[in-house]
Amino acid sequence: MKKLLFLSFLLFCFGLTIQAQKASKIKVEYADHFDINQTEIPDAALLRGNVRVSHDGVVFTCNKAYYFQEENYIKAFGDVQMVQGDTLFLNSKYAEYSGEVKKAYATGNVIMRSPESTLVTDTINFDRNVQEAFYNSHATITNRDNTLKSKSGRYYVTQKKFQFLTAVTITNPKYVIKSNHLDYYTNSGHSYLFGPSTITSKENYIYTEKGFYDTKKNVSYFKKKSYIKYKDRLIEGDSLFYDRNREYASATNNVKITDTINKGLVKGHYAEIYRDLKTQKDSMMITKRAVAITLVEKDSMYIHGKKMLITGKPGERIVRAFNNVRFFKTDMSGKCDSIHSDQKTGLTKMIKNPILWNFENQMTGDIMHLIGNNETEKLDSLKVLNNAFIISKDTLSTGYNQVKGQNLYGKFIENKLKEVDVVKNTEVIYFMRNDEKELIGINKSTSGRLNMILEGNAIETLTNFNQIEGEIYPEVELPENARKLRGFIWRGDERIKTKDDIFPPEENELDANIQAKKKAASAEENKPLEPSKETLDYDKNNPKPMVK
């Protein structure tokens, strides 16, 4: 008996479930004429003139309709409009709607409107169960800021989002976005791009394969194979941020900035770039293993500083590097606390504790200037002011050739130091050898001025002028403690011998960590960006003003 009662209860509940799931009927609210003609339209009612029907919160109006009551289905003709609350308005020449599955189909001059945008296409489908509309015919979507065109797409009513998986173009007065995979939120104007995508404007050209663009605020960020290209500069990095209104960009990790006019390249792991479109002046800051690379007649000069600033117009750039500056070129290297280089004048100042190596020659002084020739793009001359000191190892002994004076003036030929003048209170210790490299003696002298002609690593001629004193000593007659001038410091162990030596150990460690993290995260590169909290909560955080 208990089993029978339990079975009856289950059957009763099952019946209730069937009734609850049964679709409600389409309701005819009004029509000027209501006809039934089984011959012409079997099993359907013909509604004509100011037709109005409704179903579960959606209202249809049209000029004529066929209503299939048994199938809970309607076909609408002429000036068809479907209205769903205040979220969706769909107009067309013809439409069909099933009350059983809550799906609509519209064709012929279709116009779908929401509070934020208007879509115009030929044919569209709308699934009310999931609140999604989709089309496979060319469509144009417009709102206050942008015009979108695509071959196919899908609209998510609840999220207020368009999704395009084939060619789509967003046209804004300031730029044009093109992509094959783009999610566009109509309320916020947020665009999420995936796959090869471009943003073209008068100022620049942007490429990315994963990125975000806020079409209202004109701010964006890009995450994969991205770059920003200007007329004179190309900016690349693992992650890029760009603010079009301020013409400001920042780049993070594996940053590379190419100066296409001046053949220069800057690298690092963080950079900021400002551009002034009126004056054509711009500025750039780069740090975290920063290096500036300049081509000097088929050779490259590498300059590193913990922080680097580059400012000015193209052709008039000023480069400044700070804190433990090091540089390297095949035949020259050096270091100092900071560097100031003026492209227009060709003057590079090595500031505080400068040291320069040219071949095997070590040069130091209080102030050091390198002067370039802008026409030939080669080094022209060198100035070392106050406490100038040149040291080089003697090739066949443990001794050192030394020249000391107040100031030093050098002349470069084909980027190689060829001639040197040392003036005021000059002192010399020089190991003199014959053509067979045999030691003749050690020249120890003083004078008012000294001139040297160099050939690679060797001193070809050495000439003293004015107030000359000194002599040439046999090696055995000049003791070791007399073979070094006052202030002598040999710093050969500090010499920068390769372009990799310009980076301190802590910055090399930073670079290794960044590369390891990039490799570990490479699997995530093939996934689109998830919508941010700002996108999802846009309506909540930006409520529309109440209308009285």
pLDDT one-digit tens code per residue, 100-148 = 999 999 999 999 998 889 999 999 999 999 999 999 989 999 988 899 9
pLDDT of 4 strictly over 70: no
pLDDT in tens, 293-317: 987 667 788 999 999 998 888 778 8
Q: What does the pLDDT read at residue 256?
A: 95
pLDDT in tens, 33-68: 998 877 677 889 999 999 999 999 999 999 999 999
Nearest to 24 by CA among 131, 99, 84: 99
- Coil vs helix vs strand at 501: helix
| H helix or E strand, kind and range, residue 445 | strand 439-455
The mean pLDDT of the chain is 88
pLDDT of 375 strictly over 80: no
- 8: confidence class by pLDDT, cuts 50, 70, 90: very low
Compare 384 and 261 and report the one with higher pLDDT.
Answer: 384
> What architecture is the 210-323+503-523 domain classified under in CATH?
Sandwich (2.60)
Q: What's the average model confidence in pLDDT over 176-196?
A: 94
Q: What does the pLDDT read at residue 523?
A: 63
Q: Which residues pair with 537 in a beta bridge?
A: none
Return the number of other C-beta atoms located less than 10 Å from residue 2's C-beta: 6
Instruction: Give the single-character DSSP code of 507.
Output: H
pLDDT of 367 strictly over 50: yes
Nearest to 263 by CA among 300, 307, 303: 300
Rounded CA separation 311/291 (Å): 16
Compare 6 and 229 and report the one with higher pLDDT.
Answer: 229
- 525: confidence class by pLDDT, cuts 50, 70, 90: low
Q: What's the average model confidence in pLDDT over 144-168?
A: 92
pLDDT of 461 strictly over 60: yes
DSSP-assigned states of every residue in 248-274: EEEEEEEEEEEETTTTEEEEEEEEEEE
- Amino acid present at 130: V
| Both structure tokens of 322 | 């700070």
Q: Which residues pair with 219 in a beta bridge?
A: 214, 243
**443 alpha-carbon distance from chain centroid:** 59
11-25, 88-102, 460-474: segment of lowest average pLDDT = 11-25
Instruction: Give the single-character DSSP code of 494.
Output: G
Q: What does the pLDDT read at residue 38?
A: 73
- 457: confidence class by pLDDT, cuts 50, 70, 90: low
- 11: confidence class by pLDDT, cuts 50, 70, 90: very low
- 243: confidence class by pLDDT, cuts 50, 70, 90: very high
| H helix or E strand, kind and range, residue 328 | strand 318-329
pLDDT of 241 strictly over 90: yes
Per-domain residue ranges for the chain?
23-109, 116-187, 210-323+503-523, 335-501
Which residues make Cβ contacts (< 8 Å) with residue 228, sequence separation at least 6?
204, 205, 206, 234, 235, 240, 242, 249
* Domains 210-323+503-523 and 335-501 are alike in CATH topology: yes
Rounded CA separation 281/294 (Å): 20
- Coil vs helix vs strand at 74: strand
pLDDT of 547 strictly over 60: no
pLDDT of 399 strictly over 50: yes
Rounded CA separation 108/540 (Å): 36
pLDDT of 70 strictly over 60: yes
Nearest to 242 by CA among 267, 269, 214: 214
Rounded CA separation 208/227 (Å): 7
pLDDT of 359 strictly over 90: no
Q: What's the average model confidence in pLDDT over 247-261?
A: 91
Q: What does the pLDDT read at residue 295?
A: 73
**CB-side exposure of 479: number of CA atoms within 13 Å?**
2
38-42, 212-216, 321-325, 416-420: segment of lowest average pLDDT = 38-42
| Residue 112 Cα distances to 115, 155, 175, angstroms | 10, 10, 25
Q: What's the average model confidence in pLDDT over 468-475?
A: 88
| Both structure tokens of 402 | 């030394």
Say what the pTM is.
0.83
Domain 335-501 belongs to what topology? lipopolysaccharide transport protein A fold (2.60.450)
pLDDT of 280 strictly over 70: no
CATH number, domain 116-187, options 2.60.450.10, 3.40.640.10, 2.40.50.140, 3.40.50.300: 2.60.450.10
Strand residues in 147-247 grouped as ranges (E): 147-150, 153-156, 161-164, 168-172, 175-179, 182-185, 190-201, 205-214, 219-222, 226-229, 233-237, 239-243
- 20: confidence class by pLDDT, cuts 50, 70, 90: very low
Percent of the chain with pLDDT strictly greater than 90: 61
pLDDT of 193 strictly over 90: yes
Q: What's the average model confidence in pLDDT over 155-161?
A: 93
pLDDT of 13 strictly over 50: no
Instruction: Give the single-character DSSP code of 546.
Output: P
